[in-house]
Amino acid sequence: RFLLRPFPTSNTCQNLLRHPEGVLHVTDDAALIARAAVGAADSPPVRPADRVRGWVLRDCCRYYEFRVAAADATDQRVRMDADVVTSG
């Protein structure tokens, strides 16, 4: 289980409110992170997630497939409690 706190105007928040599941990745690929931060990430190798609709980076250090169990948008940042459904 973990807590997400996206800003309500972010794409992440809007996507998770519409489709409350995803994959959280842990990676040490600094170049991938930098390219993603500036919107220039190419498509890295992925595979379909096992338990949610989404994708798992093939070269990540760790991943967590999750479903948002509850969302609270009453504060400046949305609070999303997520349940991990599988990891690897």
- Of 1, 17, 2, the C-alpha closest to 78 is 17
d(CA 87, CA 51): 10
The structure's pTM equals 0.89
Residue 36's pLDDT is what? 83
Return the number of other C-beta atoms located less than 10 Å from residue 49's C-beta: 19
Helix (H) or strand (E) holding 19: none
* Whole-number Cα distances in Å, 40 to 25, 32, 35, 36: 18, 9, 5, 6
Residue 52's pLDDT is what? 98
Percent of the chain with pLDDT over 90: 84
pLDDT at 41 over 90: no
